[in-house]
């Protein structure tokens, strides 16, 4: 007896779509041509497009079976990620888009080249319709001396403004607003500015922000003990030729304290 899955033998569900749901689908996920003419005639056509695209990675003799499985799941209430609904099987109309909702940027190097390289990466990622997350606590704190430039840095929050404007400017695929996650280590000297930044009207509105905490930090909170703010976060990191670590240590070495309270 075969144990193969057969969607045809399973119960199907007649799911009624609310008017608001259909409106969102039409604006965000329905495939249209360059003139705005719909390619997906209805939601089920969208399901068929997605199911066929997902099954397309299988061996030729398995594609029909998997199309059937995916189509049954979609018609029964399964909801794939938004970029899958929008972009799967849409290569003829949106060849530069992706079916990946969320991505993570690589390490942002603490140099002008490193920062701007990641801005370029962000722009191309957002153009493809993906969201992207970064950690900005790899960048030296505000006021740290930059030996190569003979000046003091404006800090990681000012560079986050560049990423924010890039996200706002780039037209995200399928009418989707750009999505970014900015993370920051709780030990960085600029952490208090990071926590407060969204209180400034209109600043970093293209970001969701998250604080990176550790078990040691949670313990310090429970014990109501001091928490040192340091940079670089990892003392084992090699010294950069662009950073005067001696001046930086005098300016920022373990002088900041955060006491967490309700």
Tell which residue, 192, 181, 205, has the closest CA to residue 252. 192
Please check whether residue 158 lies inside any domain of the structure: yes
75 and 134 share one domain: no
Parent domain of 106: 102-257
Tell which residue, 152, 130, 131, has the closest CA to residue 142. 152
107 and 73 share one domain: no
152 and 200 share one domain: yes
Q: Provide the residue-wise pLDDT of the chain in tens; the chain has 262 residues.
A: 444 566 666 666 677 888 999 999 999 999 999 999 999 999 999 999 999 999 999 999 999 999 999 999 999 999 999 999 999 999 999 998 899 999 999 899 999 999 999 999 999 999 988 999 999 999 999 998 887 778 888 999 999 999 999 999 886 544 567 899 999 999 999 999 999 998 888 899 999 999 998 888 889 989 999 888 888 765 544 444 333 334 433 433 332 223 333 3
33 and 142 share one domain: no
Interhelix angle 43-55/63-75, nearest 10 degrees: 140
d(CA 140, CA 155): 6
125 and 169 share one domain: yes
Please check whether residue 191 lies inside any domain of the structure: yes
121 and 242 share one domain: yes
74 and 191 share one domain: no
Please, what sign has the CA dihedral across residues 240, 250, 193, 212? positive
Respond yes or no on whether the N-terminal peptide bond of residue 96 is cis (omega within 30° of 0): no
Please check whether residue 222 lies inside any domain of the structure: yes
- Quote the distance between the C-alpha of residue 209 and its chain's center: 11
d(CA 87, CA 66): 19
In contact, 56 and 36? CB cutoff 8 Å? no
d(CA 42, CA 68): 18
Q: Output phi, psi for 82, to 5 deg.
A: -55, -40
Q: How many domains is the chain built from? A: 2
124 and 181 share one domain: yes
């Amino acid at each position: 007896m075969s144990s193969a899955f057969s969607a045809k033998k399973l119960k199907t569900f007649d799911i009624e779509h609310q008017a608001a749901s259909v409106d969102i689908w039409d604006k965000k996920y329905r495939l249209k041509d360059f003139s705005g003419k719909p390619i997906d005639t209805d939601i089920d056509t969208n399901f068929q497009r997605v199911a066929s695209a997902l099954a397309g990675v299988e061996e030729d003799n398995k594609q029909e079976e998997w199309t059937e499985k995916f189509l049954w799941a979609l018609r029964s209430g399964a909801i794939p990620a938004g970029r899958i609904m929008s972009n799967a099987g849409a290569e003829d109309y949106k060849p530069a888009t992706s079916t990946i909702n969320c991505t993570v940027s690589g390490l942002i190097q603490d140099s002008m080249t490193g920062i701007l390289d990641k801005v370029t990466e962000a722009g191309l990622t957002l153009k493809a319709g993906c969201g992207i997350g970064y950690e900005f606590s790899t960048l030296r704190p505000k006021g740290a001396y930059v030996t190569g430039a003979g000046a003091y840095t404006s800090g990681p929050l000012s560079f986050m403004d560049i990423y924010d404007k890039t996200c706002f400017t780039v037209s995200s695929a399928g009418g989707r607003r750009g999505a970014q996650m900015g993370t920051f280590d709780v030990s960085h000297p600029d952490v208090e500015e990071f926590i407060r930044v969204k209180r400034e009207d209109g600043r970093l509105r293209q970001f969701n922000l998250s604080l990176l905490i550790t078990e040691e930090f949670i313990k310090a909170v429970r014990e109501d003990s001091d928490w040192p703010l340091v940079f670089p976060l990892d003392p084992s990191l090699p010294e950069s030729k662009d950073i005067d670590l001696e001046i930086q240590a005098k300016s920022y070495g373990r002088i900041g304290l955060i006491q967490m309270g309700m």
